Amino acid sequence: MRHAYAPYSRYRVGAAALVDDGRLVTGCNVENAAYGVALCAECGLVSQLHITGGGRLTHFVCVDGEGAVIMPCGRCRQLLWENGGPELELMTVSGLRPMKEVLPDAFGPDDLA
């Protein structure tokens, strides 16, 4: 979150996750003057996952600029589902929960066949 680029909203977000091979991947939000194309912290995290070798996310947390746990938006929940699956453990505002509870009845790659 300290590296977030949030000159417009001033709402800094940081994300961190463990990968199934033991790596830690991170991300921060990056705003843009065209507000709708800002990148959420989870976007950077998933990009780092793939650029450093891929794998599956196993544990995830997202925090605001004060370090308080916050929830991923809908788009980011989909990113997390596709890169961690239903068993990905998320630290949420109501405690540790599997992705299948955070995004029930999720749409995924299997639905495209």
Catalytic residue IDs: 42
- CB contact at 8 A, 31 and 44: no
Tell which residue, 43, 27, 33, 40, has the closest CA to residue 7. Answer: 33
Cα(55)–Cα(19) distance, rounded to whole angstroms? 6
